[in-house]
Chains A and B, each alone.
Chain A
Amino acid sequence: MRHGFRRLDEILRGDATRMSRLHQGRIDVPIGGLSVVVTALAVIYGACMGSFSVIRTGGTEWMQVVGSAVKLPLLFFLTLVVTFPSLYVFNALVGSRLTLLSTLRLLIAMLGVILAVLASLGPIIVFFGISTTSYPFMKLLNVIVCTVSGLMGLAFLLRTLHRLVLVQDLDEAGSRADPGDGTDDAGGEDVTETGGGALDLVDGRTSQKASAVFKIWVVMFALVGAQMGWVLRPFIGSPSLPFAWFRGRESNFFVDVFDAIGRLFAGG
Chain B
Amino acid sequence: MTGFLARADEVLRARPAVLSGSGLRRRLVELLVLMAGCGFVYGVVMGGYGGGRWLQMLYSGLKVPLLIAATFLISLPSFFVFNTLLGLRRNFPTVLRALAATQAGLTIILASFAPLTAFWYASVGDYQAAKLFNLAMFGMASVTAQLVLKRFYRPLIAANPRHRLALRVWLVIYAFVGVQMGWVLRPFIGSPEMATRFFREGAWGNAYVEVFRAAARLISP
- B-contacting residues of A (Cβ < 8 Å)? 9, 12-14, 113, 116-117, 119-124, 127-128, 130-134, 137, 152, 156, 195-200, 264-268
Contact across chains for B216 and A198 when beta carbons are under 8 A apart: no
| CB-based nearest A residue for B75 | A124
Contacts of B89 in A (CB 8 A): 12-13, 197
CB-based contact B87/A124 at 8 Å:
no
User: Given that A131-B206, A197-B85 are known contacts, is A120 also in contact with B77, CB under 8 Å in the complex?
Assistant: yes
Specify which chain A residues have a CB less than 8 angstroms from the CB of B80 in the assembled complex: 120
**Number of B interface residues in the complex (CB < 8 A):** 31
Is B5's beta carbon under 8 Å from chain A? no
What are the 4 closest A-B residue pairs judged by CB atoms, nearest first? A197-B87, A196-B87, A268-B209, A120-B81
Binary interface encoding of chain B residues 196-211 relative to chain A, with 1 for a CB under 8 A from any of its CBs, else 0: 0000000011101100
Looking across the interface, which residue of chain B has its beta carbon closest to that of A132?
Answer: B206
Chain B residues positioned under 8 Å from A12 (CB to CB):
81, 84-85, 89
B205 touches A152 (CB 8 A): no
Contact B74 A123 (CB under 8 A): yes
Contact A200-B87, Cβ < 8 Å, known A265-B212, A265-B215, A267-B212: yes
Q: A123-B73, A123-B78, A124-B74 are in contact. List 14 more A-B contacts (CB 8 A).
A: A12-B84, A113-B85, A117-B85, A120-B81, A123-B77, A128-B180, A131-B184, A131-B205, A132-B209, A133-B206, A137-B206, A197-B87, A200-B87, A264-B209
Q: Are B74 and A127 neighbours in the complex by a CB distance under 8 Å?
A: yes
**Cβ contacts under 8 Å, B81 to chain A:** 12, 116-117, 120
Check A127 against B204 for contact (C-beta < 8 Å). no
* Other-chain residue from B77, B82, B216 in contact with A267 (beta carbon distance below 8 A): B216
A199 adjacent to B85 (CB under 8 Å): yes
Cβ B213 vs Cβ A198 within 8 A? no
- Asked if B156 is an interface residue, CB under 8 A from chain A, the answer is no
Q: Is the CB of A13 within 8 A of B87?
A: yes
Q: How far is the CB of A110 from chain B (nearest CB, A)?
A: 12
| Chain B residues at the A interface, C-beta cutoff of 8 Å | 73-75, 77-78, 80-82, 84-89, 162, 173, 176-177, 180-181, 183-184, 204-206, 208-209, 212-213, 215-216
- Check A127 against B177 for contact (C-beta < 8 Å): yes
| Nearest Cβ on chain A to B180's Cβ, whole angstroms | 6
Which residues in B have their C-beta under 8 angstroms from that of A137? 206, 208-209
Residues of A within 8 A of B73 (CB): 123
Question: Of B75, B84, B180, B184, which contacts A197 at CB under 8 A?
Answer: B84
Contacts of B206 in A (CB 8 A): 128, 131-134, 137, 268
What residues on A are CB-neighbors of B87 within 8 Å? 13-14, 195-200
Contact A266 B216 (CB under 8 A): yes
In the bound complex, residues from chain B placing their C-beta under 8 Å from that of A131 are: 180, 183-184, 204-206
A265 and B216 within 8 A (CB): yes
Q: Are A133 and B205 in contact (CB under 8 A)?
A: yes
C-alpha gap A137/B207 in the complex (Å): 11
The smallest beta-carbon distance between A266 and chain B, in angstroms, is 6
A13 touches B74 (CB 8 A): no
CB proximity of B175 to chain A, nearest CB, Å: 12
- Judge whether B180 and A127 touch: CB under 8 Å: yes
A131 to B87, CA, bound (A): 34
| Complex contacts, B181 vs chain A, CB 8 Å | 127
Most buried by A among B85, B177, B183: B85
User: Nearest chain B CB to A161's CB is how many angstroms away?
Assistant: 17
B78 and A124 form a contact (CB under 8 A): yes
Instruction: Give the complex CA separation of A108 and B27 in angstroms.
Output: 39
Give Cα A13–Cα B77 distance, bound, in whole angstroms.
15
CB distance from A26 to the nearest CB of B (A): 22
Interchain CB contact under 8 A, B212 and A198: no
